[in-house]
Every structure is written in structure tokens, then in C-alpha cells.
Amino acid sequence: MKNIFDFKFEHFISKTVVKVLYAVFVAISAVTCAVGFFLNLRVSFLVSLAFIFGFYIVLLLLRVLLEDRVVKFEMAEDIKEIRKKLAAVREMSAVREMSAVAEMSAVAETPAVGEMSAVGKTSAASVVSGYEIQPRANLSNANLSGTNLVGANLSNADLSNADLSDANLSSALLSNANLTGANLTGANLTGANLTGANLTGANLTRTLLNLVKLTGATMPDGTIHDA
């Protein structure tokens, strides 16, 4: 009953109406045929049979017509259902795409280990080999051999006697760092800032020092680097 007042026509009642009307028509036809058969018997038995056959043909044609209508109604309902499913699929695809984009953005915005700004723009500490890499860090005697510390901010850090052999410290900020006795064998310090750093007794064998800033730094032999 509520479907009758569905002004948006979201629900079809045509199939139900067709079934009811067809049932009523069949019942009326059966009664009419029975009455007509007995009335026409007075005229001729063949006329009675012809009367019944005529009603049968009419009923058959009506059935074919109604089935055609019902098939179209069912097609309309199927198309509507398909559209709903397609809309749901598009919505799910859009949500997945947005999630994927968000994940990619998050990954892209997360700096890799050791890829902090050379001027210390990143204040949060990174953890490398179990050690916190940050300004004023206490890394005395730390084993950081072969680690990736590109662009790390270790200004004013205590790296005395630390093992930094073969470590990548290119573009790292090591201003005023304490590197006394540190092992920098084979380390890459290209473009690093060692202004005011203390390198007394440090091992610089095979250390790459291209474009390194050493102004005011204390060299392994105890001398102060002027420029």
C-alpha cells in the first residue's frame, strides 16, 4: 500500500497489479466460458466449442501482452539495481584512491633516516643504530660505523671516541661538535659543517672532506683552522 504513495517511483508495483488483474480476468473468463458454453449448447455444440476457443485465444494473447510488460518492468528494475551497484563500486573506488593518495603523501612527507635538514630545520630526533640523532646528543663511544647520517643535525653533540668509520655524514651539521678521538676512517663528510668542532686526535684516514666548512675547528693535531 505504501508504494502507491511513492512519488519518486523508486518502487514498482506494476508486476503485482498485472498479476492481480490477470488472475481476475482468468476467473471472469472461466465463469463467462462456462455460462456461454451451456447457453450455446441450445444452438449447437460446435458453436459452444468455438465460443470457448475464442476465449482461449483472447486469454493467450492477453497473457503474451502482459508477459511482455512484465519483462520490461523487470528489466527496468534490473537496470536500476545495476546503477546502484555501479554507484557503490565508484564510491568504493574513490575512497580507495583517496586512501592510496593519502598514504603516498604521508610516505613522501616522512623524511628518510639521516635526511634531515643541514641547517637543523627538523627538531625531532631520529634513531640510528639505537642512538638518538639530534643536537647536543650524547654519543660518546657510540658505534655508528657505516651508518647513513646524510644531513643529520648533530650540532654541539658529544661524539668523542665515537666510531664513525665509513659513515655517510655528507651535508651534516656538526658545528661545535666534540669529535675528539673519533674514528672517521673512510667517512664521507662532503659539504658538512664542522664550524667550531673539536677534532683533536680524530682519525681522518681516507675521510672525504670536500667542501667541508672547518672555520674555527680544532684539527687532529690541535691546530685551529682559520678558514
Q: What is the pLDDT along the chain (227 residues), one digit of tens a residue?
A: 555 555 555 566 666 777 777 788 778 877 877 777 677 666 676 766 776 777 778 778 878 887 777 777 778 777 878 888 888 888 888 888 887 777 776 655 555 444 444 334 434 468 888 898 999 999 999 999 999 999 999 999 999 999 999 999 999 999 999 999 999 999 999 999 999 999 999 999 999 999 999 999 999 988 888 76
The reply to whether 7 falls in a domain is no
Q: What is the pTM of this model?
A: 0.46
Q: Is 189 in contact with 212 (CB distance < 8 Å)? A: yes
Q: Please report, for the domain that includes residue 186, its CATH number.
A: 2.160.20.80
The reply to whether 1 falls in a domain is no
C-alpha cell at 66: 502482459
Q: Are residues 16 and 77 in the same domain?
A: yes
Q: Is 191 in contact with 208 (CB distance < 8 Å)? A: no
Q: Are residues 135 and 202 in the same domain?
A: yes
The string over 28-45, giving b where at least 16 C-beta atoms fall within 10 Å of a residue's C-beta and e elsewhere, is: ebeeebeebbeebeeeee
